[in-house]
Amino acid sequence: MSYETILVERRDAVTLITLNRPQALNALNTQVLAELGKAFADYDADPAQRCAVLTGSGEKAFAAGADIKEMADKPAADFFLEDFFSGWQSNVVATRKPWIAAVAGFALGGGCELAMMADFIIAADTAKFGQPEIKLGVAPGMGGSQRLTRAVGKAKAMEMCLTGRMMDAQEAERSGLVARIVPAAELLDEALKSAALIASMPPMAAMVNKEMVNMAFETGLAQGILTERRLFQILTATEDKREGMAAFVEKRPGVWKGR
């Protein structure tokens, strides 16, 4: 499938997806969501692809939000009847394999929310995160009030949502929103390097590790720990567990079957 709003490249086992509406600072419209959905579904379904990176085209923005021009004249009933924004859950969050958001420049509103859907964020030193929806008379609609609060705590999340102020990369790292900061010129290389490292891991173990960490946001401690233990026990049945432990003992790299 050819895309109009995103670019998709396969670099060995890593899928690189680039939001590509630089003239609109990569604002997220219905077409972007549909195309991202297809790209993530293809990535998830291809056993040769083991990690993905999502980034923005241009240096100025990862994404400056949901497309305000698309939403400006839309009747409220249509937002409700279409269950507007629900597709982000089914098209993006539902991805079972790991993916990284590589953020340079603005990640605002839906752009910040999309970055927070990633398994982790690597930020350029130019990154700026914010939830400025209040200035438009609305509020986050793609998970921002929930994911930002879980990532940085109530004080900062509430301040950002109520004032619309942006957080720079340093504050985002201090607050736990991003995994690490790199110089802008090295962002893509660093994200691809990190993705290649993840892609070199046993793939079922990568999927299960992702599921386990996400479980921490969905359940209480005792249930989460029990689920972790059961998932760990299930992984011990894989051929890659046998191979991984044998490779360690024999002091050689593991060769993964992906099952």
Cβ-contact 121, 115 below 8 angstroms: yes
Pairwise CA distance, residues 51 & 8, whole Å: 13
Residue 48 one-letter amino acid: A
- For residue 249, give Cα distances in angstroms to 5, 89, 245, 259: 48, 42, 6, 20
Q: Closest Cα partner for 103 from 163, 36, 190? A: 190
Alpha-helical runs (H) found in the chain? 30-45, 68-71, 76-81, 87-88, 110-117, 144-152, 154-163, 169-174, 187-199, 203-215, 221-235, 239-249
Q: Which of 98, 109, 244, 254 is close enough to bind ligand HXC by CB under 6 A?
A: 109
Contact with ligand HXC (CB under 6 A) among 103, 108, 121, 167: 108
Closest approach of ligand HXC to the CB of residue 69, in Å:
5
Helices then strands, counting H and E runs in the chain, come out as 12, 10
Residue 27 or 177: which CB sits closer to ligand HXC?
27
By CB under 6 A, name the one of 8, 14, 17, 25 that touches ligand HXC.
25
- Decide whether 65 or 202 has the Cβ nearer to ligand HXC: 65
If one asks whether residue 138 binds ligand HXC (CB under 6 A), the answer comes out as yes
For position 66 contacting ligand HXC by CB under 6 A, the verdict is: yes
**Beta bridge pairs of residue 108:** 130
Active site residues: 66, 110, 113, 133
Interaction of residue 202 with ligand HXC, rule CB under 6 A: no
Cα–Cα dist 167/104, whole Å: 13
Stretch that binds ligand HXC, among 40-48, 66-74, 150-158, 167-175 (CB under 6 A): 66-74
Which part of the chain contacts ligand HXC (CB under 6 A), choosing from 7-15, 107-115, 171-179, 236-244? 107-115
Does position 191 bind ligand HXC by CB under 6 A? no
Burial of 227 (0-12, 13-18, 19+ CB in 10 A): middle
Considering the rule CB under 6 A, would residue 106 count as an interface residue with ligand HXC? Answer: yes
- CB closest to ligand HXC, residue no: 109
Is there binding between residue 27 and ligand HXC (CB under 6 A)?
yes
Choose between 89 and 219: whose C-beta lies nearer to ligand HXC.
89
Which residues contact ligand HXC (rule: CB under 6 A)?
A: 24-25, 27, 64-69, 106, 108-110, 132-133, 136, 138, 140-141
